[in-house]
Structure 1
Amino acid sequence: MNMFLSCLTFVLATVILVVENHECKDFVLSASDQSLIDMMKHYLHTSRRDDCPQPGKTSNTGVTYVRWGNTTCPTGVELVYKGQVGGNEHQNKGGGVNYLCLPNDPENGQHQPYSNDQVYGGEYQLNSSMKPSGWSVSNDNKEVPCAVCFKKRKSVILMIPGRKTCYKGWNSEYNGYLMSDHVNHHKRDYACVDIDAEPLDNKNGSEKGALFYPLRTNCGGLRCSPYTNEADGLCVVCTK
């Protein structure tokens, strides 16, 4: 397509150059000549419309997403900020259920005497019998990092559970494992944690808080096939 446009541009430029430098000063374009030029100008204008700034649109439009378990964004994606995962304590009955990506440079509020603590750190809960395939138990009880990423010129973001690749026409941002709190704890959102998940730092201690447990499938209402019983829950984050 680009080669075709280049050739068309060359033809149009050649026609205009010949006309403007024609030795006959009173040269007049025929109706067919003018029609050809107008047609090529219109084609070039419409075919390159997407490359030109449109009224009300800027090059800064796009989508944001959280990359759980990592402090960087994929190549070509802007890092808004990096931080650590927070959320409600896993035993609290009320309050928020979603994980939060807390920035590393917070603007802290004033100290308050009332009791309604709901923002705790997030930890991996991994042991030899409960960890995604390929992961190390060395991350057990370590805090979870995160990164907020901005992908320009995209309008939709989608996390697809049960897959590690995006469907045709969608761009993969990252893939990983579905994680959430334990089945015996209070409900928590599902998060797609990066396949190459890393710890926030080297500190290791069971601080509890918002916990990340790996999930597995259970057949019955979930049809097997196409799914497999007691398998890792995969996920992928896609943009378009």
Structure 2
Amino acid sequence: MYLPLVTMLLATVVVIVQNHECKDYVLSASDQSLIDMMKHYLHTSRKEECSPSAIKPSDTGVTFVYWGKKSCPQEAVIVYTGQVGGNAYNNKGGGVNYLCLPNDPENGQHQSYVNDQLYGAEYQLDSSKKPAGWSESMADKEVPCAVCFQKQRSTVIMIPGRKTCYKGWTSEYNGYLMSDRSSFHRRDYACVDKNAEPFDSKNSNEDGALFFPLRTKCGSLRCPPYTNEADVLCVVCTK
């Protein structure tokens, strides 16, 4: 804000000195100090303008995975869209997290060793185990995903057990908390959109990484405020 004023003042001082009638004019200590101070201010101000930290607010933001959907919510920008993948439900070792695999992979070379860990993911549903409002037709269908970028935000959080964000936070989407079956191997939790869709129309049971709806269990989990054997809601919030 002060840069144009300082620049004008410095230019004025220089012009006055250069046009002074006394050719042998010598700057006083206070004059030189003022000029040095202005030069320093201009140097540091312009350096800050060019520094990596001087990033436009519109260039900053956060990324998150939109589980169960092919496009991004609200004003978020798609980084890429893809299919959920992960380790097979019956593999004892290896990775435990779900992955959002892009639809345009750059594949490596074929290998003969045995260590298969990257499978597609399927919804595991039936009439007795499905989130409220979901159709049984989603059973055994593969799970889509999208990686989204929300501009001008600095943090993102998934809140389990809620469908709305706390005050001061913006909801990106809400849905149901899902993971693998308790009798299988452990898996990360994922917040899957309440209006989730299938990756495509194929629904043969090929297993791989599985998505089961979760239920609460009262005991060590205090009820109230929770209720027993209920769907676990979730919401993804940004700020």
Provide TM-score, normalisation by structure 1: 0.77
Counterpart of 1:199 in 2: which secondary structure?
A: coil
Amino acid aligned to 1:218: K
Letter in 2 for 1:105: D
Counterpart in the other structure of 2:55: 57
1:34-183 correspondence to structure 2 within 5 Å: 55-58=53-56, 59-183=58-182
Moved over 6 A (4+): none
Displacement of 1:57 in angstroms is: 2.0
- Between the aligned partners of 2:156 and 2:221, the Cα distance in structure 1 is 25
Within-5 A mapping of 1:188-227: 188-227=187-226
Name the residue aligned to 1:232.
231
Matched with 2:39 is none
- Counterpart of 2:137 in 1: which secondary structure? helix
Tell me if the contact between 2:74 and 2:172 (Cα under 8 Å) persists in the aligned partners: no
Structure of higher CA gyration radius:
2
Residues 172-215 of structure 1 deviation map (CA, whole Å, 9 limit, x = unaligned): 00000000000110000000000100000000111110000000
C-alpha separation in 1, matches of 2:50 and 2:145: 33
Q: What is the SS of the residue equivalent to 1:138?
A: helix
From the superposition, tell whether residues 208 and 165 of structure 1 become closer, same or farther in structure 2 (CA, over 3 Å). same
Structure 2: unaligned runs, 5 residues or longer: 1-48
**Fraction of identical pairs, as percent:** 70
Q: Distance in 1 between matches of 2:134 and 2:237?
A: 23
Whether contact under 8 Å (2:65, 2:100) holds in the other structure is yes
1: distance between equivalents of 2:63 and 2:109? 29
What are the Cα deviations for residues 50-81 of structure 1, in whole angstroms up to 9, with x where unaligned? Answer: xx999522321110000000001112110001
- For residues 127 and 172 of structure 2, the distance between their equivalents in structure 1, rounded to whole angstroms, comes to 29
Report SS of the residue matched to 1:92: coil
- Tell me how far apart the structure 1 counterparts of residues 132 and 63 of structure 2 sit (CA, whole Å): 28
Number of residue pairs aligned between Structure 1 and Structure 2: 189
TM-score w.r.t. structure 2 length? 0.77
CA–CA separation in structure 1 for the residues paired with 2:194 and 2:143: 13
Q: CA RMSD in A?
A: 1.4
SS of 2:59 mapped into structure 1: coil
Change (3 A) 1:53 1:153: farther
